[in-house]
Amino acid sequence: MLQRIQTVYLIVVFIASGILPFVFPLWTADAKPVYFMQSPLFSVLFGLSTTLALLSVISYKKRQQQFVINRLNMILSLILLGLFLYRSLNLSGDAQVSEKGIGMFLPIVSIVFLVLANKAIKKDEDLVKSVDRLR
């Protein structure tokens, strides 16, 4: 399980979507950091992303299922990124001072490592298919 590189990539995705949102704020409004827990929608989406990453790590023997779970997680991360972008474009700059936080970029980190994990899964699948042809 851990000897495969895609498992390491998926653990990084798990950390980026499950642990780092507690550390890094999404944005700062009125000199107060805003974390993902203050919005139920962001909490649910980060929770689903974390759950999918953990489910993908656990299903290491089923490569096709792991590939599909990673694709779903990528779509979920893109939706989360789109919501962050929408929210950041609608932050008013007149009455309150708002700054974007590093937490808004965590879905990008997740997407990058999910793509790397899917490439490694595809490579493993191709290797298994080539060995089956030799039999």
Which residue, among 106, 79, 101, has the nearest Cα to 12 in the 3D structure?
106
Sheet holding 32-34, edge to edge: 32-34, 27-29, 98-100
> 60 vs 51, 52, 57, CA distance in Å?
15, 13, 6
Q: What is the pTM of this model?
A: 0.88
Residue numbers of the chain with a pLDDT score lower than 70: 1-2, 91-98, 134-135
Percentage with pLDDT > 90 across the chain: 55
Question: What region does 30 belong to: left with phi over 0, alpha with psi -120 to 50, or beta?
Answer: left
